[in-house]
């Protein structure tokens, strides 16, 4: 197995912020004296009132609570802006790279960003936003999206960013769930040369979201949009306000943001993050994992609609005073060289992207990569799904020319930032493994019976204690928070992931063990796609499972039972795909639809997903025990008519 081990290169071991001994020291300190350790770490933030208390938590039902730095006061936006003004006010904070490569990038120094955020904050205030209000942000990847996020943080409003690729229905549900009165949007978004009608989607959503009173519209493309009574042009409102806006003092436990994510059941959950703990985790992990140092140009190629964008485009890098790149477009548009051209144009030192993007680019061969320079790169990150060793090696050898450590970060929307990941100066790498837990993170593998598994083994991944970046609740449903994460294995946080631990104590995430699938690094609840399908008038029942997909990691495979008298056809399959796309968004579009006269159910009426998964995977030889099915013949029909 030694061939699969990439030791820490000498120059990294000697120059990185943290070497192997440093990691061991941090890990031991966090374990042996957590209060002192975390209070010391917390000093990296700028507190209005420094905390005297670190973590105070219990995962037990009787005393369930999670708090960090609860007597501390700070403002997240001031940490990302104001405190940098003296030392690096003229340093570039955000580089914005436009969709169209012939257009000019935009750059904002910390001083300029500070002014823009204050201006945006005053526009929010002028429209009635106050501390604790929820503001929904439905934006393309333009600088104003960052201004809006930080403006909320500045005035203590809770932002809920909804990915610009979600449908009007999905947006309406999220606006309504957290009672947002204000939505911030743009006329249109641009991606890969195409336009996305964001404002029109907000109008459609408004019809189903009575809480919505005000829509602040940024003019991004200049495209035609209808402006109604509740709509305000941002540029008009901005001309009326000053750039003076003092940051609101927030308790460390005050909410910073909500981010909706799919679960195994029902509608998306509003994952709520706190101000102090989250910001500390974002800042600390950005420095630990990516060996951040002044002068770096950091590019996290995610969308701010996902937690990766929150933590590693905005909060982490800006809290650390970094230069962070925000890219409007797609990695492979206008051609497969674009991502590397952007790296060269801005002399990017660290790139953080998803395996799905790497697999798509790999298919185009090495030439689009080798045609570019990339000599500025020193670190490469991966996130969102397991990275297959083949993509890992390509990233390492072709993209990084063997020079850059690959930092495979395992985490979740719920965890706020990375939990299991290598430190470039400390951890030998193994392609496909997220390697070792970060300091303060204590993973455990559990079996189905609730027993702790020791040594080299596979099981369900739990985290035994809290860490500052842990989510605090599900918005509006604290009981759901407890039920979802703390009841499967009482006293522990259950991640929903399966995992293998090898003989070197390295962790290998094997994927979700619940009814959540991972499509191109995006989390999708199969139940959500099923609900969308059964809303269609011709559909009686639907069951959705994941299937292996060469580029996306997992694709969406839907079994559909039609209402009596409705005939199956190619056209209907296409119509249903389009339907789901409209109901949820393009990322939820099924890759395959199989019409089935019936679904395999137990005698008590439970759909046997295990069988559906196997058929979708094409693994029809080993369907296992089907004797408990109400009608075993159903399976033969499914196997015979498999799509793909």
- Pick between residue 278 and residue 595 the one whose CB is nearest to ligand WT7: 278
Is 459 labelled a binding residue? Answer: no
Q: Smaller CB distance to ligand WT7: residue 409 or 484? A: 409
Please report the sign of the dihedral spanned by the C-alpha atoms of residue 621, residue 623, residue 629, residue 635.
Answer: negative
To the question of whether residue 385 is assigned a binding role by annotation, the answer is yes
Question: With binding defined as CB under 6 A, does residue 585 bind ligand WT7?
Answer: no
As given in the structure block, the two tokens for residue 92 are: 């570039």
551 is in an annotated binding site: no
Shortest distance in whole angstroms from residue 606 CB to ligand WT7: 24
Rounded to a whole number of angstroms, the minimum distance from the CB of residue 461 to ligand WT7 is: 9
CB 402 within 8 A of CB 377: no
Q: Is 520 marked within a binding site?
A: yes
Q: Which two tokens stand for residue 344?
A: 């060269």
Cα distance between residue 153 and residue 258, in whole Å: 12
CB 401 within 8 A of CB 374: yes
Is residue 307 a known part of a binding site? Answer: no
- For residue 408, state whether it binds ligand WT7 (rule: CB under 6 A): yes
Selection from 422, 410, 415 nearest residue 18 by Cα: 422
Half-sphere exposure of 291 (CA within 13 A, CB side): 28
Residues of this chain, 522-581, that bind ligand WT7 according to CB under 6 A:
523
Contact 356, 384 (CB under 8 A): yes
- Residue 412 interacts with ligand WT7 (CB under 6 A)? yes
Q: Is 153 left (phi over 0), alpha (psi -120 to 50) or beta?
A: alpha
CB 258, min distance to ligand WT7, A: 14
* Residue 98 beta carbon to ligand WT7: minimum distance, rounded to whole angstroms: 25
Number of residues that bind ligand WT7 (CB under 6 A): 23
Q: For 128, left (φ over 0), alpha (ψ -120 to 50), or beta?
A: left
**Ligand-binding site membership of 409 (annotated):** yes
Q: How far is CA 327 from CA 196, 289, 299, 333, 420, in A?
A: 16, 22, 8, 12, 26
Four-point Cα dihedral 578, 583, 586, 590, nearest 10:
-60
Within 8 A by CB and 6+ apart from 484, the residues are 263, 269, 474
Query: C-beta of 625: minimal distance to ligand WT7 in Å?
Result: 27
| Positive or negative: CA dihedral 396, 401, 407, 410 | negative
- Give the footprint of ligand WT7 on residues 304-323 (CB under 6 A): 306-308
415 is in an annotated binding site: no
Closest CA to 421 of 266, 288, 527, 517: 288
Q: Is 408 part of any known ligand binding site?
A: yes
Closest distance between ligand WT7 and the C-beta of residue 160, in Å?
15
Is 539 annotated in a binding site? The answer is yes
Query: Which residue's CB is nearer to ligand WT7, number 146 or number 383?
Result: 383
CB of 499 to ligand WT7, least distance (A): 9
> Which residue matches tokens 């950005």?
286
Q: Which is nearer to ligand WT7, 261 or 323 (CB)?
A: 261
CA 316 to chain centre: 14
Pairing of strands 182-186, 158-161: unpaired
427 binds ligand WT7 (CB under 6 A): no
> What is the per-residue binding string for ligand WT7 in 434-453, x denoting contact by CB under 6 A?
x-------------------
370-399 mask for ligand WT7 (x: CB under 6 A)?
A: -------------xxxx-------------
Q: Which of residues 473-532 bind ligand WT7 (CB under 6 A)?
A: 495-497, 509, 511-512, 518, 523
CB of 34 to ligand WT7, least distance (A): 24
DSSP track, 428-489: -B-TT--BSBPTT--EEEE-TTSPEE-SSEEEEEEE-S--TTS--EETT-HHHHHHHHHTTT
Q: How far is the CB of 496 from ligand WT7 (least distance, A)?
A: 6
Minimum CB separation of residue 570 from ligand WT7 in Å reads 32
Residue 410 labeled ligand binder: yes
Smaller CB separation from ligand WT7, 429 or 573: 429
Specify the residue, 336 or 387, whose C-beta has the smaller distance to ligand WT7. 387
Q: Is 577 annotated as a binding residue?
A: no
Strand-pairing partners, residue 463, are 443, 493
Site of tokens 């952007």: 342
Report if residue 82 touches ligand WT7, rule: CB under 6 A.
Answer: no
Site map (CB under 6 A) of ligand WT7, residues 43-62, x = contact: --------------------
Helix (H) or strand (E) holding 184: strand 182-186
The residues in 257-296 that bind ligand WT7, with binding defined as CB under 6 A, are: 261
Q: Which residues bind ligand WT7 (CB under 6 A)?
A: 261, 306-308, 383-386, 408-413, 434, 495-497, 509, 511-512, 518, 523
- Which parts are annotated binding residues for CoA? 191-194, 308, 332, 520, 581
- Which parts are annotated binding residues? 191-194, 308, 332, 384-386, 408-413, 497, 512, 520, 523, 534, 536, 539, 581
């Amino acid at each position: 197995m030694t061939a699969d081990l990439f030791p820490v290169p000498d120059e990294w071991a000697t120059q990185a912020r943290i070497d192997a001994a440093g990691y061991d020291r941090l890990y031991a300190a966090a374990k042996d004296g957590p209060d002192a350790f975390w209070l010391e770490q917390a000093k990296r933030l700028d507190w209005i009132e420094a905390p005297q208390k670190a973590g105070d938590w219990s995962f037990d039902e009787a005393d369930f609570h999670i708090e960090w730095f609860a007597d501390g006061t700070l403002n997240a936006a001031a940490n990302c802006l104001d405190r940098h003004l003296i030392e690096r006010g003229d340093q570039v904070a955000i580089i914005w790279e436009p969709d169209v490569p012939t257009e000019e990038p935009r750059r904002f120094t910390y001083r300029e960003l500070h002014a823009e955020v204050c201006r945006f904050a005053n526009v929010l205030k002028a429209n009635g936003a106050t501390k604790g209000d929820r503001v929904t942000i439905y934006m393309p990847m333009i600088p104003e999206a960052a201004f809006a996020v930080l403006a909320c943080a500045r005035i203590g409003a809770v932002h809920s960013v909804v990915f610009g690729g979600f449908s009007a229905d999905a947006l309406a549900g999220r606006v309504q769930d957290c009672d947002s009165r204000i939505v911030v949007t743009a006329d249109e978004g641009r991606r890969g040369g195409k336009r996305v009608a964001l404002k029109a989607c907000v109008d459609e959503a408004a019809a189903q979201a009575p809480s919505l009173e005000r829509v602040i519209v940024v003019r991004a493309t200049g495209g035609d949009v209808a402006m109604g009574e509740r709509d305000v042009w941002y540029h008009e409102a901005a001309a009326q306000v000053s750039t003076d806006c003092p940051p609101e003092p927030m308790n460390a436990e005050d909410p910073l943001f909500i981010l909706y994510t799919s679960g195994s059941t029902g509608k998306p959950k509003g994952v709520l993050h706190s101000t102090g703990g989250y910001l500390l985790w974002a800042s600390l992990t950005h420095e630990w994992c990516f060996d951040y140092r002044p002068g770096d140009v950091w590019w996290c190629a995610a969308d701010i609609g996902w937690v990766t964008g929150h933590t590693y485009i905005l909060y982490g890098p800006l809290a650390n005073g970094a230069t962070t790149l925000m890219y409007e477009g797609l990695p492979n548009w206008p051609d497969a060289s674009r991502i590397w051209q952007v790296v060269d144009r801005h002399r990017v030192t660290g790139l953080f992207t998803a395996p799905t993007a790497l697999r798509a680019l790999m298919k185009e061969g090495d030439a689009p990569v080798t045609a570019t320079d990339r000599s500025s790169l020193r670190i490469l990150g991966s996130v969102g799904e397991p990275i297959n060793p083949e993509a890992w090696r390509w990233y390492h050898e072709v993209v990084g020319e063997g020079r850059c450590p690959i930092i495979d970060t395992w985490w979740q929307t719920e965890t706020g930032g990375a939990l299991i990941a290598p430190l470039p100066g400390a951890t030998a790498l193994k392609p496909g493994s997220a390697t070792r837990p970060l300091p303060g993170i204590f993973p455990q593998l559990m079996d189905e019976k609730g027993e702790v598994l020791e040594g080299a083994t596979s099981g369900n991944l739990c985290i035994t204690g809290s860490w500052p970046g842990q989510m605090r609740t599900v918005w509006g449903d604290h009981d759901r928070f407890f039920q979802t994460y703390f009841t499967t294995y009482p006293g522990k946080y259950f991640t929903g992931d399966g995992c293998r631990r090898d003989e070197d104590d390295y962790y290998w995430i094997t994927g979700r063990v619940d009814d959540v699938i991972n499509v191109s690094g995006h989390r999708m609840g199969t139940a959500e796609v099923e609900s969308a399908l059964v809303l269609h008038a011709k559909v009686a029942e639907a069951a959705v499972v994941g299937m292996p997909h060469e580029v996306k990691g997992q694709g969406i495979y839907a079994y559909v039972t039609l209402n009596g008298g409705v005939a199956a056809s190619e056209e209907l399959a296409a119509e249903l795909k389009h339907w789901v796309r409209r109901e949820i968004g393009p990322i939820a579009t099924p890759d395959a639809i199989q019409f089935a006269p019936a679904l395999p159910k137990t005698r008590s009426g439970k759909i046997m997903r295990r069988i559906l998964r196997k058929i979708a995977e094409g693994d029809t030889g080993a369907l296992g025990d089907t004797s408990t099915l109400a009608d075993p013949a159903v399976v033969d029909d499914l196997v015979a008519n498999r799509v793909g």
